[in-house]
Amino acid sequence: MSDQKTERLINLTLALLASKRFLTKNEIFSTVAGYSGSAETMERMFERDKDELRNLGIKIEVRGMDPLFGDDQGYLIQEESFQINSNEFTQEELLYLTMAANLWHGSALHNQSKAALLKIQSISGPIEVNDVNSPVIKDSEDSTTFLLILVAIRNLSKLRFEYKGSIRIVSPYGLYTRDGFWYLVAEDDVAIKTFKLIRINPNVEIVGKPNGFAKPENFELKKFLADTKPDTENNVVILVRKNQALALRRRYQTDEINSEWDRMKFKYLMADELIESLLWFASDVVVLEPESIRKKLLANCEELIND
């Protein structure tokens, strides 16, 4: 969906939601930004927009405005049917709701995510999410795997999948994100391990019945992650383009170098995770040191270009 169409849908939703009475098409065309052109053009745009909103689960009520002329209709979105009340959320909470909706954008839940984003932006205005390194479920295959794992965790069902060339049957305990990537924590061969989701073969299967295993009573995901955190920390020094890589800027201090670049130094634990995280920012980030990270990042960039 183009930015122009998204903005028009938001404007239309706001107008129909804020109005205390049913609006005619002429009133909508004259007051809602985004409608232009001939009467026929605006009519077609409006019909498509109505269908789009309804497909997103937004209920538009229609009522005849004149009993003598049935073709003169009015349109309204009842506030109670919209469900989200802006007064119930802080800006930070709306940001996280937006991140959650963006997470599924382009996935098997694409329509649901669009509906959620439209509702959030209609009550809060556009929310900038570039300042958060938010992992994304990229496509239907990714989202299907993700949903399957969530179901297995909830139902205490075992999972079977291929990981790094070998078949694993695991008891899934939880999911977490780090540096923009998803990880599964599961028990494999009587040991609790971490599996990176992008390295799991998408042919994931649930094996056995629900309640097929018992999670240890003393298991806490947060404590497990803290206990398994690598002890050795290393420094990385990078250049960050002005006004870019906001997720990094929120976490680390910068020193101004010139009108184009800032310098940033911070500690990292795992080289692979650092490189994969920096790849998000493409040419807006340049690694100065260590040389090993700089070379690996360049190699990964070349591999992506060649693919």
Topology of domain 3-82, CATH: Arc Repressor Mutant, subunit A (1.10.10)
Whether this model's pTM surpasses 0.85: no
Q: Kindly give, in sequence order, each residue whose CB lies less than 8 Å from that of residue 231, ignoring residues fewer than 6 positions away.
A: none
Tens of pLDDT along the chain (307 residues)?
Answer: 555 777 788 778 877 877 778 889 988 998 887 888 898 999 999 999 998 888 877 888 998 866 555 557 899 988 766 555 545 555 545 444 554 555 544 444 455 555 555 554 444 444 443 333 444 444 444 567 877 888 898 889 999 999 988 899 999 998 887 766 778 999 988 789 889 888 898 899 999 889 999 988 888 888 888 777 665 678 999 999 998 888 788 888 999 889 999 999 998 877 877 887 888 888 899 999 999 999 988 888 887 777 6
Q: Does domain 234-306 have CATH number 3.30.70?
A: yes
Would you list the domain boundaries of the chain?
A: 3-82, 86-124, 140-227, 234-306
What is the dotted CATH code of the domain comprising 140-227?
2.30.30
Q: CB of 162 within 8 A of CB of 168?
A: yes
